[in-house]
């Protein structure tokens, strides 16, 4: 088995699992006897570990149930708090659904949202951002790194513009924290979302960074845990596991960046050298060290995934990105790609458990599977080993 779908979720590390076990049975951090005090101490240590990972102060970290809740808390929290000041929000077309659906919900409540397009490389234009700002803009929400194409947005520039205009800046950094340096101070970030299960921690836990002094309307009311900002007894074992994962990510950041980028670069070189009409989606340079997203002419990504799966290799397609929909990926579509190109796309997200040997095995497998699919593809000219001229109507009329 070779697992290369780490951007969907990353397997819990052994050290993380072992750290969690003692906390599964007892300890409410809000009680005063020793068990409770131990749980509280453990939770506070994690707060420090998470803060250090993004250069925040410990008190600026609030635990949540994950990236989705953090995104909702930031965006709805600001919208409801500042609606008297303005009802305009700026985000991008390629955000995670946790941001997009939240913004769409707010549109049904009278907010206006500008969805910035991205350039061919998946990066927004700073001029577009400047032009979108209005007197009633209260929030800019731009992700740090994209989950499908790994593209990294210029968050320091975005933060500077937000600050100059007195607008709050929320950043969904679920894919970047723990993988590349993230510094909330340097980037003038006011609110930032983090998730544990994308950095080898358990699922169902995450955090939101709220810069000191930033006011939010609350989503969850109750007993006043987490400094009164997010009620509910803390998920102590989950938080402890998240903390271990954050600590490891911090200690091994440089080492992991070096190792993963080397594998990613080998991947990109081998695939694009050895397979005709294979291209990289997203920016070649400004991308996560663990992301490679390819498109192959004349084949369907689903066929590719199934055949790789049969060989014990896990990847993800850009088309059926959620099992519920067969719609072409909106992220790849925002890059200006045609539906046919999107359907022939494959995301491989590397993890620290992968080795260069895995890369070689996967490249060989992809080469073989792509060749096999093309032999049967009506869109591939086998004699000349190149794609046939596309008949556009074939795709636009299909119910894909
Ligand atoms: C996974 C992901 C989320 C959601 O995080 P959960 O912890 O699964 O709720 C949000 N944003 C991005 C960019 C993600 O990749």
* Main-chain dihedrals φ then ψ at residue 61, nearest 5 degrees: -105, 125
Confidence (pLDDT) at 400: 44
Number of Cβ within 10 Å of residue 84's Cβ equals 7
pLDDT of 315 above 90: no
pLDDT of 392 above 60: no
The Cα 86–Cα 84 span in angstroms is: 6
Check if 67 has its Cβ closer than 6 Å to any atom of ligand 1.
yes
> Among this protein's residues, is 321 annotated catalytic?
yes
- Count Cβ neighbours within 10 Å for each residue of 299-338 and write b for 16 or more, e otherwise: bbbebbbebbeeeebbbbbbbbbeeeeeebbbbbbbbebe
Tokens of residue 129, six digits: 């951002």
Which atom of ligand 1 has the smallest separation from the CA of 196? Answer: 7
| Mean per-residue pLDDT of the chain | 93
Q: Say which residue, 188 or 316, is predicted with more confidence.
A: 188
- Residue to mutate (ligand 1; options 67, 97, 170; most atoms within 8 A of CB): 67
Which atom of ligand 1 has the smallest separation from the CA of 67? Answer: 5
H or E element at residue 348 = strand 345-349
Give me the residue label for tokens 């995104």: 71
Check if 88 has its Cβ closer than 6 Å to any atom of ligand 1.
no
The Cα 89–Cα 97 span in angstroms is: 16
pLDDT of 398 above 80: no
Least confident of 100-104, 105-109, 386-390: 386-390
pTM: 0.94
Check if 143 has its Cβ closer than 6 Å to any atom of ligand 1.
yes
For residue 53, how far is the Cα from the chain centroid? 17
pLDDT tens digits for 112-137? 999 999 999 999 999 999 999 999 99
CA–centroid distance, residue 398 to ligand 1 (Å): 31
Close Cβ partners of 172 (under 8 Å, ≥ 6 residues apart):
67, 70, 71, 95, 96, 98, 99, 141, 142, 143, 144, 192, 193
Check if 147 has its Cβ closer than 6 Å to any atom of ligand 1.
yes
Nearest CA to ligand 1 atom 6: 67
What string of DSSP letters covers 89-126? Answer: EEEETT--HHHHHHHHHHHTTT-EEEEE---TTS---H
Confidence (pLDDT) at 337: 95
Edge-to-edge order in the sheet of strand 291-296? 278-280, 291-296, 345-349, 316-317
Confidence (pLDDT) at 34: 78
Which atom of ligand 1 has the smallest separation from the CA of 197? Answer: 7
> What is the SS3 assignment for 208?
strand
Closest to 170 (Cα-Cα) out of 151, 147, 143: 143
Active-site residue, selected from the candidate residues 321, 337, 342, 370? 321
For 313, half-sphere exposure in the C-beta direction (CA atoms, 13 angstrom radius) is 25
For 5, half-sphere exposure in the C-beta direction (CA atoms, 13 angstrom radius) is 15
CA torsion sign, 184 to 177 to 173 to 337?
A: positive
> What is the SS3 assignment for 79?
helix
| Alpha helices (runs of H) in 133-208, residue ranges in sequence order | 155-164
Check if 290 has its Cβ closer than 6 Å to any atom of ligand 1.
no
Closest to 353 (Cα-Cα) out of 271, 237, 252: 252
């Amino acid at each position: 088995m070779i697992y290369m779908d780490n951007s969907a979720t990353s397997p819990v590390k052994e050290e993380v699992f072992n750290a969690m076990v003692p906390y599964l049975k007892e300890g409410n951090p809000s009680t005063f006897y020793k068990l409770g005090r131990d749980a509280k101490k453990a939770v506070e240590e994690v707060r420090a570990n998470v803060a250090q990972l993004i250069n925040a102060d410990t008190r600026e970290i609030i635990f949540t149930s994950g990236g989705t809740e953090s995104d909702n808390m930031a965006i709805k929290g600001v919208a409801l708090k500042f609606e008297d000041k303005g009802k305009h929000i700026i985000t991008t077309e390629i955000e995670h659904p946790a941001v997009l659906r939240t913004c769409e919900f707010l549109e049904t409540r009278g907010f206006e949202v500008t969805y910035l397009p991205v350039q061919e490389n998946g990066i927004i234009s700073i001029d577009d951002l400047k032009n979108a700002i209005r007197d009633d803009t209260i929030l800019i929400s731009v992700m740090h790194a994209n989950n499908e194409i790994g593209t990294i947005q210029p968050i320091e520039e975005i933060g500077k513009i937000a600050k100059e205009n007195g607008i709050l800046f929320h950043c969904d950094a679920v894919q970047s924290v723990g993988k590349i340096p993230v510094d909330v101070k340097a980037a003038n970030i006011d609110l930032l979302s983090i998730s544990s299960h994308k950095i080898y921690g358990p699922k169902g836990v995450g955090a939101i960074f709220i810069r000191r002094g930033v006011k939010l309307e609350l989503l969850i009311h109750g007993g006043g845990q987490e400094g009164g900002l997010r009620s509910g007894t803390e998920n102590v074992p989950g938080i402890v596991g998240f903390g271990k994962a954050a600590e490891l990510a911090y200690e091994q950041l440089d080492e992991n960046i070096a190792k993963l980028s080397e594998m990613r670069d080998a991947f990109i070189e081998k695939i694009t050298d050895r397979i005709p009409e294979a291209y990289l989606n997203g920016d070649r340079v400004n991308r996560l060290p663990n992301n490679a997203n390819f498109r192959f002419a004349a084949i369907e990504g689903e066929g590719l995934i199934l055949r790789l799966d049969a060989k014990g290799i896990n990847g993800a397609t850009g088309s059926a990105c959620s099992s519920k929909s067969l719609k072409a990926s909106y992220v790849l579509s925002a890059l200006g790609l045609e539906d046919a190109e999107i359907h022939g796309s494959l995301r491989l997200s590397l993890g620290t458990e992968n080795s260069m040997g895995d890369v070689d095995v996967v490249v060989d497998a992809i080469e073989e599977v792509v060749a096999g699919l093309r032999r049967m593809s009506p869109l591939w000219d086998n004699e000349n080993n190149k794609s046939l001229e596309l008949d556009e109507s074939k795709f636009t009329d299909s119910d894909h």
